[in-house]
Amino acid sequence: VKTPETASSPTLVLKAIAMEGKGRSAVINRGIVHEGERIDGCEVLVIELQGVWLACHGTRHFLTFTERTVSNQS
């Protein structure tokens, strides 16, 4: 069941990806995140060159530089 988006729902915007050796990080909104960390109720699953896999409230999303993911915090 999808819930309607509200103005108070945070939008996740991918700004940058850095990969050095086994270290992977991404800039989402204004924060630096690593695999396994959480941002706005979503878990960062995998960081790839093309984007970031997120798990938000039981649903997987692939966040790219051109797409935005809205997470509904409960």
Interval 4-17: pLDDT, tens: 443 344 689 999 99
pLDDT in the model for residue 65: 92
How far apart (Å, rounded) are the C-alpha atoms in residues 66 and 16? 12
Residue 67 or 4, more confident: 67
* pTM for this prediction: 0.76
The percent of residues in the chain predicted with pLDDT above 90, rounded, is 66
In our burial notation (b when 16+ CB lie closer than 10 A, e otherwise), range 11-49 reads ebebeebeeeeeebbbebeeeebeeeeebbbbebeebee
Q: Which domains, and CATH codes, for the chain? A: 11-70 (2.30.30.830)
